[in-house]
Amino acid sequence: MAKSGDAVLEFIGELMDPALPVAKTEVKNLNDFAKSKGFEGDIIMPWDFSYWAEKLRVEKYDLNVEEMKPYFRLEDCIDALFSLANRLYGITFEPIDLPVYHPDVKVYDVTDNDGTHLSLLYLDFFPRASKRSGAWMTEFRGQKIYNGVEERPFISLVTNFTKPTADTPSLLTHDEFITMLHEFGHALHGMLAQGRYPSQTGTNVDRDFVELPSQILENWGYEKEFLNSFAKHYETGQPIPDEMIEKIVDAKNYLSAYYHMRQIQFGILDMSWHTLTAMPDKSVIEFEKDALKASNVLPSVPECIISTSFAHIFSGGYASGYYSYKWAEVLSADGFTLFKEKGIFDKETADKFRRLLEQGGSVDAAELYRDFRGHDPQPEALLRQLGII
């Protein structure tokens, strides 16, 4: 979507300039907190940051993960995803008896509001010895038209949630539920695909566009109206308390400017390497230090650099593309603003977004986004969502 290196650098600047002073203030406040708790150094160093950040988070928001988990039983969360997709797009999910590659895997027949078959959805939620860690969406078959016959997709959503025991169901943290929403957003991109060529349908889109469907769906996980529709204590049936939702929402932007700047620094470093036209006359350490010095919010450690372990850009396919994480966050924040204006279950807005999902990569991503939102993505939307402005 960005089209040029100059556009990426301009984009990074638009996100960095308002955030840098806020991030420095956050670090100063954390430093003051650490000193109030007995920290004896002049300033917290990078290796101190996570320790004191967690201490302050617990004191400031009093979020107890174990107290929240009973309100996020896996089966209720699955129903919540299906219900959300039904309210937005009119699609339904019915369990279907098909052969599967492991007994834990469940398969659903996904149908449109007129009963038309859309997709198969495989849910694979629990860890096992042969399974890698993490969470992801994938497709066993993409949507396409072959010899005049349409083949609908087979989509898989995979996680590593805690398996139920004889006494306790699988209970998720709120962060795990957000991950579930994220991957389901990718799954919807695949399931709703409408096109001819598999290379241009579903998630086969520009890298800085592919995370829009996943990241925008995360927003519903912080909406009281949605949480109240399903988050009930698995033993008592009591709805999730309002004060717990308030804590979840308040904590969402904890140290948001700092973490925002951290991602921006990765993007700056990536583009610094990518825009080289000749071998630099300095060491790797010197090159990196010079590239990042204007954006540092914590002291730079002389002997430490990121580049030598920056697998994303040297072996992970993100060379000149690390900015795309923030680019997609802007798309998500700007896009969800429309849902907030019209209503988070507004059918007209959802229909517009569905058209974006259906077309995959067959139409230029910038054009798709403008058709949905009515304007180009606005970085200010993300800065507002993060509480930076």
Residue 108, Cα to own-chain centre: how many angstroms?
A: 24
Given this model, what pLDDT does residue 112 score? 98
Given this model, what pLDDT does residue 328 score? 96
Closest by CA position to 135, among listed 152, 160, 118: 160
Give the tokens for residue 235. 């033993």
* 0.75 exceeded by pTM: yes
Per-10-residue mean pLDDT of the chain, 389 residues long, equals 94 97 97 96 94 94 90 98 98 98 97 97 97 96 96 98 96 97 98 96 95 97 98 97 94 96 98 95 96 96 94 92 96 98 98 98 96 96 97
Thinking of the domain 68-251, which architecture would CATH place it in? Orthogonal Bundle (1.10)
Active-site residue (options: 26, 183, 211, 329): 183
Q: Where are the domains of the chain?
A: 5-62+254-314, 68-251
Contact 206, 1 (CB under 8 A): yes
Closest by CA position to 89, among listed 359, 369, 355, 371: 355
Other beta carbons within 10 angstroms of residue 357's beta carbon come to: 23
Contact 150, 115 (CB under 8 A): no
Kindly list the distances between the CA atom of residue 387 and the CA atoms of 18, 212, 256, in Å, as whole numbers in the listed order: 11, 20, 8
- Helical ranges in the chain per DSSP H: 5-36, 46-61, 65-68, 74-89, 174-191, 212-218, 224-227, 242-251, 256-274, 284-292, 311-314, 324-342, 347-359, 365-373, 379-385
Q: Is 218 a catalytic residue?
A: no
Given this model, what pLDDT does residue 209 score? 96
- Read off the amino acid at residue 366: A
Contact 157, 184 (CB under 8 A): yes
Give the tokens for residue 123. 């849910």
Given this model, what pLDDT does residue 56 score? 95
Beta strand 144-146 pairing with 149-151: antiparallel
Query: What residues contact residue 234 under an 8 Å CB cut-off, 6+ apart?
Result: 70, 71, 73, 76, 169, 171
Rg (CA), the chain: 22
Given this model, what pLDDT does residue 263 score? 97
User: Rounded CA gap, 212 and 189, in Å?
Assistant: 10
Contact 212, 335 (CB under 8 A): yes
